[in-house]
Amino acid sequence: MKSLFFIPVYNQVQELPGLLTELAATDLPCDTLLFLNNGSNDGSEELIHACGFPWLDVPSNRGIGHGFIVAIDWALAQGYEVFGALAGNGKMLPTEMHRVLDPILQGEADYVTGSRFLSGGSSPNLPRFRERSIPVVNRFVQALTGVRLTDATCGYRAFRLDLLRRARFAWHAPWLDGYGFEYYLYAKVLLARSIRWKEVPITMRYPPPGHRYSKIKPLVGWYDMLKPWVVARFDGRGFAEG
């Protein structure tokens, strides 16, 4: 299956050089690595344009979900069958991409997401707030879907694009432009029951205490992350049979 991983970037000129160095030193298991400049204006856009990998430009930052949608539309038009995401902030290890991708290529799963809490995973410098809040989110997700996850918020993921071809829900809806897209699709996968999904151990590394580790805005950002699970549970839309 033809696979693509995309890397969304928004104003990450400090983290991006290190990530580019790691990518250049890694034998990547995907067919294509696609950068998406999500409206950066701090010099990140210049690094992306000169990186040697394919890239797309979004003129203004409408949210990470919009970046996903733009990249997925491009991947579908180019005939890719598997789509993955790797953060542009350097938290995820390119050397672990195969952990997320292999179960799909080997026919074991249709949707795979990473977990820093499974045996073999880790989360150096995990902030105390995240350490306490992620288990709460896991219980929230279990209450809505009936599925017990170890790490509902990890963004290291890959899935078969056929899922979106079969989607009966409006995955281009503007309300998904923020954090909604990733979690709405994930919720639909878990609720479908017939779709094979899997968590795999990965590393999520954080900067030392005192440094910025997230662009998620307090309250508003977490609302945007939790709302999609509720909507997915009650809107009555799923996937056509494969």
Please compute the mean of the pLDDT values over residues 194-221 and round it to a whole number.
77
Q: What is the mean pLDDT of the chain?
A: 94
Q: Which residue is associated with the tokens 């094979």?
A: 196
According to the model, what pLDDT value does residue 162 have? 98
Question: Rounded to a whole number, what is the distance in angstroms from the first to the last CA of the chain?
Answer: 16
**Which numeric CATH code is attached to 3-234?**
3.90.550.10
What is the pTM assigned to this prediction? 0.93
210 pLDDT higher than 70: no
Confidence of residue 223 (pLDDT cuts 50, 70, 90): confident
Angle ∠(150,232,187) on CA atoms, nearest 5: 25
Domain range list for the chain: 3-234
pLDDT tens digits for 103-152? 999 999 999 999 999 999 999 999 888 899 999 999 999 999 999 999 99
- Residue, of 169 and 223, whose pLDDT is higher: 169
Rounded to whole angstroms, the Cα distance separating 8 from 45 reads: 11
According to the model, what pLDDT value does residue 209 have? 66
According to the model, what pLDDT value does residue 241 have? 87
Please compute the mean of the pLDDT values over residues 32-55 and round it to a whole number.
96
